[in-house]
Amino acid sequence: MKNLLYFTFALCILVSCEKEKKEEHNKLAFDGIDETIKPGDNFFNHVNKTWYDQAVIADDQVGVGAYRFLNIPQRKLLEDILEEVSNGTHEKGSADQMVGDFYSSGMDTLRINALGFEPIQPLLDKINAIQTLPELMQFVVEEFRSGNRSLISLGISPDEKNSSVNILHFGQTGLGLPDRDYYFKTDESTLEIQKAYQAYLSTLFELTGNDTPEQHTAIVYAIERQLAEMHKTRIERRDITANYNKMAVSDLHKSQANIGWSNLLKNLGAEADSVDIGQPKYYEKLNALLGTIPLADWKTYLKANIMTHYADILSEPFETAAFEYVKIISGQAVQKTRAQLMVQKVDRQLGFALGQLYVKRYFNKDAKKRVLDLVNNFQKAFETRIDQLDWMSDGTKVKAKEKLYAITKKIGYPDVWRDYGTIRIEKDSYFENVVALRQNDYQYELANLNKAPNKNEWHTTPSTVTAYYNPSMNEIVFPAGILQFPYFDLNADDALNYGGIGMVIGHEFTHAFDDQGAQYDKDGNVKNWWSEADYEKFKAKTQLIIDRYGSYTVLDSLHLKGALTVGENTADNGGVSIAYAAFKLTEQGQDTTRINGYTPDQRFFMSVARIWRVKTRDAYLRNYIKNDPHSPPMWRVNGPLMNFTPFYEAFDVKPGDKNYKTEEERIKIW
């Protein structure tokens, strides 16, 4: 018996080791290359088509693969943490207690379902009691302090002309559909979404006892459509100068008496003599509509807003109604499990408390130092590329390099964790917990008003698979979540890491110099640091990006929006070229030794293709093209590589290949 136990134990070790070896092989090797597809015809498919054809999107998901869909397995790790801490006893106010009890409160569906819409009944009663316009705006403000952006939307961040102080920025809002264009387009898919949204509103009115749901839905939809008429398009909102309009509160109060700006700011608890209005026409229209649309109709609008805002934290019928609408937009077949929904909610509301637990359990802190080394290497590579630019003058190059080396680097997790204060999270108070946390978020943001920006603040949680550049702070951020395969592996060769996380690092650096980032100086101010001639050359090059990507089609006749995606496409093109330049500074980058039959350069480019290995549902992709500033995964690979000569040399791309571009046609910016 003892020998049998030893044999069984040894066998388990052998199986475990073999499994680990296989997993490690899959990380370092490139299996499933489709040799029937030439690299010069479609490199994304050359590397990923075998995987793509075999990948299965789970019924409760809209996609599968890398980047944002790598958050799916991430949420399983977070779920394991939450299951663990929710079953323990912890000190009140600790990260374990807050996230554990919040998770438990949301998992108590028996109690949540028993309450029905009782949690929002006081809010509906308040709306019924409104008798004047000032009372209506008072309710709007009270709800905004609880995270509900109905008729007003504001944020607190650096003044774009004086980045040393945080001010109030107001923006357009008021819509239930994803974007203003959904109210006006008449193609089949948009009409289907309009119909689904109106059906959703009618269902919510029915669930709260309304006898004429369709009539009330029509009132709400008509108001939203009028507000949408004054919304700027997503492309128009890329114009930084046009979307910065600093105005005196006293002037606004006089010209827009129905909004009542002085009272609005007082009720918000926000002290300010002036505010930035991103889209002035929206607030002009809102002020006019407040005076012409009957108060009873506005009350109906606010009821719909309350129901849609809180639907996902009410009883099952409300969640189901919300999901039926989401299905039409995303193509997601079935709802996520309750546990996975709660993981997302905990991360959204208590993400930095949960982040502490994630980092402690899953993040290899050696990765933080290694990635910082990579980032520093990239600055050197980018500096060299700036020096070599043939279209930029020496004076502008000096300013560009000053900005480059002024960039703050944030890697892994914050040096100072967010303090959630004295907020109390209770196991049996889900709705109240959510509202309290949203109110806490508002107070946390409000505390920054009229102060210098908080250099320690992060705008994404550590466990999230993402990265970003913030122009007003001139900082790049790489959370712990993205510092994993296929982006980064401590044991991988440089080709894989530079083509993986390196491409992302290069991408974020380039955002400091894309069509928007290039308008900010090294201190985060919107200020011209270019010579006039250089900036004209730069704009001409970005226009080439707009035109090129606007010619690409997705889902048959649906074109990419070149003007919407220009910033991300510029960053993708720069990301590849800078990552490659940095890779060539490494020992492997200067070598030709093959691994598994591939040269270092080939492995670099194959890694670039693998990090965008994503498959999505068509409905999701259609909505993505309309609203997202990023190109779809295929064009995040093929688009930059067809402009990059070292890729041609690595894979012997020749005239006649479908994605071949002549040297003159290859767009080069950074």
Q: Which of 158, 67, 75, 74 lies closest to 507 in space, CA to CA? A: 67
Looking at residue 29, its pLDDT comes to 83
Environment class of 384 (CB within 10 Å of its CB; exposed 0-12, middle 13-18, buried 19+)? middle
Tell me the per-residue pLDDT of 357-400, one tens digit each, with 9 for 90 and over.
Answer: 999 999 998 999 999 999 999 999 999 999 999 999 999 999 99
Band (pLDDT 50/70/90 cuts) for residue 8 is very low
Q: How many CB atoms lie within 10 A of CB 129?
A: 10
CA distances from 653 to 648, 649, 659 (A): 5, 7, 9
Find all residues with CB under 8 Å of 518, minimum gap 6, and list them: 512, 530, 535, 538
Band (pLDDT 50/70/90 cuts) for residue 511 is very high
pTM (predicted TM-score) = 0.92
DSSP codes of every residue in 224-289? HHHHHHTPPPTTGGG-TTTT--EEEHHHHHHHTTTT-HHHHHHHHT---SEEEES-HHHHHHHHHH
Environment class of 630 (CB within 10 Å of its CB; exposed 0-12, middle 13-18, buried 19+)? middle
Tell me the per-residue pLDDT of 240-296, one tens digit each, with 9 for 90 and over.
Answer: 999 999 999 999 999 999 999 999 999 999 999 999 999 999 999 999 999 999 999
Tell me the per-residue pLDDT of 451-493, one tens digit each, with 9 for 90 and over.
Answer: 999 999 999 999 999 999 999 999 999 999 999 999 999 999 9
Region 585-607: mean pLDDT is 96
Band (pLDDT 50/70/90 cuts) for residue 499 is very high
- Give the ranges where 331-483 is alpha helix by DSSP (H): 338-362, 365-388, 394-406, 430-446
Domains observed in the chain: 117-314 (1.10.1380.10), 363-418+457-651 (3.40.390.10)
Structure tokens at 110: 């028996």
Find all residues with CB under 8 Å of 48, minimum gap 6, and list them: 609, 610, 613
Contact (CB, 8 A) for 261 and 249:
yes
| pLDDT of 1 higher than 80 | no
Contact (CB, 8 A) for 271 and 108:
no
- Chain-wide mean pLDDT for the chain? 94
Contact (CB, 8 A) for 665 and 642:
no
